Amino acid sequence: MATGSVLAFWAVAFLLIVMPGPDWAFTIGAGLTGRSVVPAVSGLVVGYAAVTAIVAAGVGALVAGSASALTALTLVGGAYLVWQGAATLTHPAAASTEPQAGTGWRTFLRGIGVSGLNPKGLLLFVALLPQFTDPDDSWPIASQIGVLGLTFMATCAVWYLCLGVLTRTVLNGRPGKTRLISRLSGTAMTALGIYLLLDHFLT
């Protein structure tokens, strides 16, 4: 696979990743509640790995072309974000140097849901990944999509680990600001979930 195609995709992927969205809100929220943001970021990455596998297998195009499947995915994804945002709003994080017991796996699974159940993310992958593949390349299309997906996941991992650690470092010992940022994160997730739902029903 041509290095130039991977680098071109990386440039586009980086611009998409640094734009605030559900992943940002989730990572910031996770950075405020535990000692490590690794479970949260790992969950996001695994969610994108699942989306990459779906697209590489050709299922993504089928989902994108099925009105009923896309409707179901949009409803589930939007409702999931609203639920997570509401949970964050009702139980805002408090600054702490101690991890909350038993939250690692739950945070990991929530991360998978945030990235893996985002219908916009699936459609983005369906529309974006194939553009950087070459049918005449010696690598199969599925393998090329896999490389591009790994590039996206690696960039996500680095960016969100830095974001989560920065959030925790800057806000550590500042409970007032911690609660404010936590509520803003919850509001962002709720608003994005509502947007997904309204965007589907109004278009």
101-115 residue pLDDT tens: 446 888 899 899 888
Residue 139 reports pLDDT greater than 50? yes
Residue 98 binned pLDDT confidence (cut-offs 50, 70, 90):
very low
Residue 164 reports pLDDT greater than 80? yes
CB burial string 64-74: b at 16+ within 10 A, e below = beeeeebeebb
More confident residue, 196 or 23: 23
How confident is the prediction for the chain on average, in pLDDT?
A: 78
Beta-carbon contacts of residue 201 (< 8 Å; ≥ 6 apart): none
Axis-axis angle for helices 3-17, 119-128 (nearest 10): 150
The pLDDT of residue 130 is: 76
Which of 19-28, 64-73, 117-126, 156-165 shows the lowest mean pLDDT across its residues? 64-73
Alpha helix (H) residue ranges in the chain: 3-17, 22-31, 38-56, 59-64, 67-90, 104-116, 119-128, 141-171, 175-202
Q: Above pLDDT 90, what percent of the chain?
A: 16
Task: Give the residue-averaged pLDDT of 74-88.
Answer: 74
Residue 35 reports pLDDT greater than 70? no
More confident residue, 29 or 8: 8
Distances 101 to 26, 91, 94, 153, 168 between C-alpha atoms, Å = 19, 16, 14, 27, 17
Distances 74 to 9, 79, 143 between C-alpha atoms, Å = 26, 8, 28
Beta-carbon contacts of residue 57 (< 8 Å; ≥ 6 apart): 142
Task: Give the residue-averaged pLDDT of 12-36.
Answer: 79
Nearest to 116 by CA among 159, 163, 63, 162: 63
Residue 96 reports pLDDT greater than 50? no
Cα–Cα distance, 39 to 24 (Å, whole number)? 14
Cα–Cα distance, 89 to 105 (Å, whole number)? 21
Structure tokens at 146: 């896999």
Task: Give the residue-averaged pLDDT of 123-127.
Answer: 74
More confident residue, 151 or 63: 151
